[in-house]
Each structure stands twice: as structure tokens, then as C-alpha cells.
């Protein structure tokens, strides 16, 4: 079960009929997110396999996952914001059980992501799930 913040945007997205508005919303979510501190944009946080530059910085705080991230591409940056709503605040054991692509499908986004972008999305999800797995063990 995804968390409440994510359910909230699923509801918001239900009102959006066309892809332009969905993209607009994703881009806005990205713009509203705090940028990742420059000091955290290092090779260790960089996610390979994305068409654009992506950095993810996950941590465990009080037993739940909290991650920040940033991309130099606005759509990808928006996707990071969406993933934060999906994962942040969950214990690492729950992260692995979430079918991220299916959840994003509920936003009507999956179909609209180009292959390279989807691959980037997959790389981001794998990075977060890998972190959760290590943290849970």
C-alpha cells in the first residue's frame, strides 16, 4: 500500500484528462521540490542509465526512508518528486513490496514515458529499492 502523500496526487491526477496537463503537473511537482545541495551531487549519488543527469540521496531517518534527488531534466526532476511521494516515510521493508511501475501507471504516466526515460525511471527505482533492501537487512 503506497503512502498517503502519493494517494493525494493520484487523486489530483484523476482530474487531468490529457497528457499535456499530466506533464505540466509532473513538471510543477519537480519545480516545487528543493534542489539537492551541490555537495551531494557526487559520483556516489549519481544514477547511471538515465538519458539525463540524475542524483539520488536516500537515507534512513527514524526507521523510515527519506530521499532527496535532482535531475537536470525537468520531466525527470518531476518524476523524482513523484517517487518521493511514493517512498518517503515508508519503512525499508515496505519499499521492496511496492510495484512502482504499476503505481506510476495509476498516474497515467507509464505510457507517456519514452523508452530512455522509462529506463531512467527503472534505474532510479532500482537504486532506491537496492538501498531499502540493504537498509532492511
- Provide the minimum distance between the beta carbon of 20 and another protein in the complex, in angstroms, as a whole number: 7
What is the rounded CA–CA span in Å between residue 52 and residue 118? 12
Task: Give the residue with the Cβ less far from another protein, 2 or 79.
Answer: 79
- Is residue 86 within 8 Å of 98, Cβ to Cβ? yes
What is the rounded CA–CA span in Å between residue 59 and residue 75? 24
Total residues in contact with another protein, by rule CB under 8 A = 18
Task: Give the residue with the Cβ less far from another protein, 40 or 51.
Answer: 51
- Is residue 89 within 8 Å of 3, Cβ to Cβ? yes
Quickly list DSSP for 83-129. Answer: HHHHHTTS-HHHHTT--HHHHHHTTT-GGGS-HHHHHHHHHHHHHHH
- Could you say which of 5, 10, 16, 51 contacts another protein (CB under 8 A)? 51
Task: Give the residue with the Cβ less far from another protein, 97 or 114.
Answer: 114
Binding span for another protein by CB under 8 A among 39-47, 65-73, 96-104, 124-132: 65-73
**Does 46 contact another protein by CB under 8 A?**
no
Residues making contact with another protein (CB under 8 A): 19-20, 23-24, 27, 51-53, 71-76, 112, 114, 116-117
Amino acid at each position: 500500500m503506497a503512502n498517503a502523500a502519493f494517494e493525494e496526487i493520484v487523486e489530483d491526477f484523476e482530474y487531468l484528462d490529457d497528457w499535456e496537463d499530466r506533464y505540466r503537473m509532473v513538471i510543477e511537482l519537480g519545480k516545487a521540490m528543493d534542489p539537492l545541495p551541490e555537495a551531494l551531487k557526487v559520483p556516489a549519488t549519481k544514477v547511471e542509465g538515465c538519458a539525463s543527469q540524475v542524483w539520488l540521496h536516500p537515507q534512513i531517518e527514524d526507521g523510515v526512508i527519506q530521499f532527496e534527488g535532482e535531475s537536470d531534466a525537468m520531466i525527470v526532476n518531476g518524476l523524482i518528486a513523484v517517487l518521493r511521494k511514493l517512498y518517503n516515510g515508508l519503512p525499508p521493508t515496505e519499499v521492496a513490496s511496492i510495484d512502482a511501475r504499476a503505481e506510476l501507471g495509476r498516474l497515467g504516466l507509464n505510457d507517456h514515458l519514452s523508452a530512455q526515460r522509462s529506463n531512467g525511471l527503472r534505474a532510479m527505482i532500482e537504486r532506491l529499492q537496492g538501498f531499502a533492501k540493504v537498509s532492511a537487512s
